[in-house]
Amino acid sequence: MTGTANTPHTKSHGRVAGKMVLLACAMFGFGYLMVPLYDIICDITGLNGKTGRVSASVANATQIEAAAEDREVVVEFVASINQGGSWIFKPMEKTMTVVPGQLYQTSYYAENLSDNTVVAQATPSVTPFVAAKYFNKTECFCFTRQDFEPRGSRDMPLTFIIDPDLPINVDRVTLSYTFFKSPEQT
Amino acid sequence: MSYNDVTHHSADDHNHDHDHAEHGPAKGLMRWVTTTNHKDIGTLYLWFSLIMFFIGGAMALVIRAELFQPGIQIVDPMFFNSMTTMHAIVMIFGVVMPAFVGLANWMIPMMIGAPDMALPRLNNWSFWIMPFAFTIMLSTLFMDSGGPAGGWTLYPPLVLQMGDSFAYVIFAIHFLGISSVMGSINIVATIFNMRPPGMTFMKMPMFVWTWLITAYLLIATIPVFAGAVTMLLTDRFFGTSFFSAAGGGDPVMFQHIFWFFGHPEVYILILPAFGIVSSIIPTFARKPLFGYDSMVYATASIAFLSFIVWAHHMFTTGMPLAGELFFMFSTMMISVPTGVKVFNWVATMWRGSMTFETPMLFAIGFVIMFTVGGLSGLMLAITPADIQYHDTYFVVAHFHYVLVPGAIYSLMAATYYWLPKWTGNMYDEKLGKMHFWISTVFVNVLFFPMHFVGLAGMPRRIPDYSLQFADWNMIATIGAFGFGFSQLMFVYIIVKSIRGGEKATSEVWEGARGLEWTVASPAPYHTFETAPDIQPSTVTR
């Protein structure tokens, strides 16, 4: 082996470098893939208080099944406005005592205090986080964007059902909505 | 000048490579701009990071000066915040990472017996991007909207409230990322393709191994970070809503993406340090590294685990119990391979004929003080305790212990260790030892009190604090100025060694092992143009 010339091109540097560039590009893509992955994982685990959504028929089925449930859970409603919006935004009822497995309806009131047409979006969050995936809504103003006329106002309905599988140590659930002006308006 | 300019080879012995006078460096400043020589580029990286070390250090002194007493005395809070942010960015991306890349450039080809890096032109480019990137980054401090002030972690929504200089910050980060990914690709290609016959993977020095694994970490995570900051950029300027709740995004998602990069990043900042210490301790203990194989596997396990622990930075964001338990236990598991390393270093020293030259002092200082930082890391891993410690000075104490007497000490150890090889002259041993002892006293005066104020609840990244923290903060500031100014000794010792001094032998250190000690000191401009003859019995590590 003595005196073997250290020739640089006995192996292809391009091939190794190419593979590494490919890995780098794939990882850049993976960074973006984490966005949908995150939503999926949050839906499954209720991470970050993301609430569930069920169809009315599923809710009805649950309701019949759980008719004999005798525990009560206090649901608290909270409303907050993100910075920079001129709004009135509040829950019509501050607390409700509910039975898991029963369908309930309540509503939030919102009023646009500005002289412009505004599109708004509400995002929900449930605490404790462990309760999030048991808090299911069949109808919610948070599913869609809400248009408001200048100085317009309305009640926005919310229909929800708490899954009877809610862990037994949870007896109080807080549902919080944050009201945002949609970013296109800015 | 690149390696394929070689027209003839010295047939007998690589020790005489420096006979080729025509292969010396070009003259003048353009030598440094156009160079493709791995030693030149390594030198450029090392000087660059030394300069950035003083820039980042000056920022740290602004922070400590403001915190000398409670109340706002010296800088306004916004500037204070941009100092904490910039100090982190400069120290991570401008000091520790380039210094490790510089050492990799200088040492990896000489350690494995290769004539140069695999992709020398790419190498030139990956260095020269950095000064431009940092010019852009630092220029934001002089813009109307100021430098980034939301912390180096760039959490939205706070960071999105920054002025238009935000775009400069993001582009600078992109450039830095491109530079490190290119540097890493080069290192991987060099280690895979440039090893001469006989240099098997398990004959490579630990420094080469740790850098191979670090390079993979960089290639796998820097692009994720690039993606995350690109999302910030489009959220800020192009109306997307990745992290804006108003548009259906989620700011917590940024933290997940960021720390998916960020946690491997902290191992990027420490694995090459493990490699350096694993080179130095055997030399001065005059024994081979204890448990080389287990060191390799421990490094690989740390790298693997670094990908599954990220959410321990985010325990306070709220997480299901199962998630908290998973991230707590996986984090604690990292202390197993790290412990293997620490015990192997101790076992290497056990019954060795130890001497305590400056590199060894810094290496032993590394082992002890890095372990202090490792133990406070274990405390932080405990989820319920972390909720108390989160964002306090306890965290600051933790990561400064692993980064300053950890990563920075390894860099100083490496500099003293290889300086005679680079310059051909021994450094001033007496001054080197003084530098070590002064630094070690002050670094502990600086960072140890932070544990106390942190446990007592002092939050980080805030220019003012309550009165009960005043005494320890004053002591920490005294330590900071002492540590900062004693680093001028480091510069003086380096310059003195470049200018002259006792001539170094090829071997330099009595117990030195490895191929880099078989070439002359200073190392000739081109080494190992002829592949070294590596037999199974040849000592290469």
Classified as helix, coil or strand, B439 is helix
Chain position carrying tokens 């950095």: B130
Residue B6 lies in a domain: no
User: Which of the following is catalytic: B17, B40, B66, B116?
Assistant: B116
Q: What is the pLDDT of residues B33-53, one digit of tens each?
A: 999 999 999 999 999 999 999
Active site residue B32: no
Terminal C-alpha separation, chain B: 29
Long-range contacts at B481-484 (CB < 8 A, ≥ 24 apart): B481/B61, B481/B64, B482/B438, B482/B441, B482/B442, B482/B445, B482/B446, B483/B439, B483/B442, B483/B443, B483/B445, B483/B446, B484/B57, B484/B58, B484/B60, B484/B61
CA B485/CA B477 separation, integer angstroms: 12
**B227/A31 CB distance under 8 A:** yes
Residues A27 and A112 in one domain: no
Preceding peptide of B522 cis, ω within 30°: yes
User: Which residues neighbour A38 within 8 Å (Cβ) at sequence distance 6 or greater?
Assistant: B250, B253, B256
CA A141/CA A157 separation, integer angstroms: 6
Residue A1 lies in a domain: no
**B113/A6 CB distance under 8 A:** yes
CA B179/CA B167 separation, integer angstroms: 18
Residue B113 φ/ψ region, left for φ over 0, alpha for ψ in the -120 to 50 degree band, beta for the rest: left
User: Which of the following is catalytic: B23, B263, B513, B541?
Assistant: B263
Give the Å distances, CA to CA, from A90 to A82, A116, A131, B361.
Answer: 13, 20, 22, 65
Residues A89 and A106 in one domain: yes
The verdict on A38 touching B (C-beta cutoff 8 Å) is yes
Residue A157 lies in a domain: yes
CA angle B104, B109, B115 (to 5 degrees): 145
Residues A61 and A140 in one domain: yes
CA A107/CA A14 separation, integer angstroms: 63
Beta strand A172-181 with A73-81: parallel, antiparallel or unpaired?
Answer: parallel
Active site residue B312: yes
The domain of A127 spans 52-185
Give the Å distances, CA to CA, from B208 to A126, B108, B181, B514, B530.
Answer: 50, 6, 17, 11, 20
Preceding peptide of B157 cis, ω within 30°: yes
CATH number at residue A72: 2.60.370.10
pLDDT at position A66? 59
Distance in Å, alpha carbon of A84 to nearest chain B alpha carbon: 12
Phi and psi at residue B512, to the nearest 5° = -65, 140
Closest C-alpha among A126, A140, A132, A135 to residue A176: A126
Residue B171 lies in a domain: yes
Residue A7 lies in a domain: no
**What token pair was written down for B193?**
């393709």
CA A99/CA A163 separation, integer angstroms: 10
Residue A2 lies in a domain: no
Distance in Å, alpha carbon of B185 to nearest chain A alpha carbon: 6
Closest C-alpha among B156, B40, B135 to residue B90: B135
Residues A96 and A120 in one domain: yes
Chain position carrying tokens 């604690």: B332
Beta strand A95-98 with A52-53: parallel, antiparallel or unpaired?
Answer: unpaired
Residues A64 and A91 in one domain: yes
The verdict on A144 touching B (C-beta cutoff 8 Å) is no
Residues A24 and A80 in one domain: no
The verdict on B157 touching A (C-beta cutoff 8 Å) is no
User: Which residues neighbour B36 within 8 Å (Cβ) at sequence distance 6 or greater?
Assistant: B1, B2, B116, B120, B121, B123, B124
The domain of B478 spans 38-517
Residue B13 φ/ψ region, left for φ over 0, alpha for ψ in the -120 to 50 degree band, beta for the rest: beta
Q: CA of B242: which chain A residue's CA is closest? A: A35
Residues A65 and A124 in one domain: yes
User: In total, how many domains does chain B have?
Assistant: 1
User: Which residues neighbour B217 within 8 Å (Cβ) at sequence distance 6 or greater?
Assistant: B264, B265, B267, B268, B271, B303, B306
Phi and psi at residue A164, to the nearest 5° = -60, -15
The verdict on A78 touching B (C-beta cutoff 8 Å) is no
The verdict on B262 touching A (C-beta cutoff 8 Å) is no
Residues A100 and A135 in one domain: yes
**Would you give the DSSP letter of residue B458?**
P
Q: What average pLDDT does this structure show over A111-138?
A: 83
Active site residue B263: yes
Residues A139 and A162 in one domain: yes
CATH number at residue B326: 1.20.210.10
DSSP of A129-185: HHHHTTEEEEEEGGGS-EEE-TT-EEEEEEEEEE-TTS-TT--EEEEEEEEEE-GGG
Q: What type of residue sits at position B330?
A: S
CA B106/CA B113 separation, integer angstroms: 12
Q: Which residues of chain A have a CB within 8 Å of the CB of B181?
A: 24
The verdict on A85 touching B (C-beta cutoff 8 Å) is no
> How many Cβ pairs closer than 8 A exist between chain A and B?
145
The verdict on A184 touching B (C-beta cutoff 8 Å) is yes
**B197/A49 CB distance under 8 A:** no
Q: In the structure, what pLDDT confidence band is assigned to residue A69 with cuts at 50, 70 and 90?
A: low
Pick from B3, B219, B244: which is nearest to A183 by CB?
B244
Classified as helix, coil or strand, B119 is coil
How confident is the prediction along chain B (541 residues), in pLDDT tens digits per residue? 344 443 344 444 444 444 444 567 878 888 999 999 999 999 999 999 999 999 999 999 999 999 999 999 999 999 999 999 999 999 999 999 999 999 999 999 999 999 999 999 999 999 999 999 999 999 999 998 889 999 999 999 899 888 889 999 999 999 999 999 999 999 999 999 999 999 999 999 999 999 999 999 999 999 999 999 999 999 999 988 899 877 778 889 999 999 999 999 999 999 999 999 999 999 999 999 999 999 999 999 999 999 999 999 999 987 878 889 999 999 999 999 999 999 999 999 999 999 999 999 999 999 999 999 999 999 999 999 999 999 999 999 999 999 999 999 999 999 999 999 999 999 999 999 999 999 999 999 999 999 999 999 999 999 999 999 999 999 999 999 999 999 999 999 999 999 999 999 999 999 899 999 999 999 999 999 999 999 988 888 8
Active site residue B537: no
**B118/A16 CB distance under 8 A:** yes
Residues A64 and A148 in one domain: yes
Residue B255 lies in a domain: yes
Residues A104 and A88 in one domain: yes
Give the Å distances, CA to CA, from A83 to B54, B145, B488.
Answer: 40, 21, 48
Closest C-alpha among B179, B190, B187 to residue B128: B179
Residue B179 lies in a domain: yes
- Neighbouring-strand partners of residue A160: A104, A137
Residue B12 lies in a domain: no
Chain position carrying tokens 């073997």: A4
CB–CB of B453/B469 below 8 Å? yes
User: Which of the following is catalytic: B313, B451, B513, B526?
Assistant: B313
DSSP of A78-131: EEEE-TT--EEEEES-SEEEE-TT-EEEEEEEEEE-SSS-EEEEEEEEEESHHH
Q: What type of residue sits at position B483?
A: F
Distance in Å, alpha carbon of A20 to nearest chain B alpha carbon: 6
Angle between helices B120-139 and B77-89 (to 10 degrees): 170
The verdict on A80 touching B (C-beta cutoff 8 Å) is no
CB–CB of B218/B178 below 8 Å? no
User: In total, how many domains does chain A have?
Assistant: 2
